[in-house]
Amino acid sequence: MRKIITLILLFVVLLPSQVLAATSTSTVDKLFFESYKDQVKEVKDAQKKLNDILCTNVKALTEKSKTSTTKYNNAVKSKASKEVLAKAKAERDLDKKTLNSAKATCSTKAKELKKKSDSALKEIAAYKAKTVTSIKNHLDGKDKLTENDFSESVYQSLSEIESKFDAILESLSAD
């Protein structure tokens, strides 16, 4: 009977302390990944600015298209000759075609880069989750790593995540 009471007391005392000793993911995030959300936000902001970076010629082509459209409309209003109208219309159509082509090319490039960067963000998130799990296991005493090995492993993981973010941002800011 004493053994049973002793075992019950051990479970009552040890089980709650084990539950309390478990390290939470939010604690690990606060300790090791404090800038992670800021870096993700920075990537998302860079994705939003892709059109400005990639489509520098679209603004100029838009202005050129507006100018040629205005010239054509003025020629129609002033009842210009057929030759002048044909020339103005051809110029307007060419400018619109060039503008639409540039917009399509820009849009395709932007979507492709955004897709690649989103994929890279998913890879980083998976790597981070794996790292968080290993950190939690170490802090909860579930692994056999020494403190030096643990520190080196965490440093290497954090450096890898940082370099991946840098690579994403570089790819989004380059033309």
- For 11-144, list the strands marked E by DSSP: none
Distance, in Å, from the CA atom of 7 to the CA atom of 71, rounded to the nearest integer, reads 94
CB 76 within 8 A of CB 85: yes
- Backbone angle region of 141, left / alpha / beta, with phi > 0 → left and psi within -120 to 50 → alpha: left
One digit per residue, pLDDT tens: the chain, 175 residues? 454 454 344 444 444 444 445 678 888 878 888 888 999 999 999 898 888 888 888 888 999 999 999 988 888 888 888 888 889 989 999 999 999 999 999 999 999 999 999 999 999 999 999 999 998 888 888 888 888 888 898 899 999 999 999 999 998 886 5
The pLDDT of residue 123 is 95
CB 50 within 8 A of CB 110: yes
**53 burial type by CB count under 10 A (0-12 exposed, 13-18 middle, 19+ buried):** middle
The pLDDT of residue 23 is 73
The pLDDT of residue 21 is 53
Token readout for 67 is: 């100018």
pTM value?
Answer: 0.71
Token readout for 144 is: 């056999």
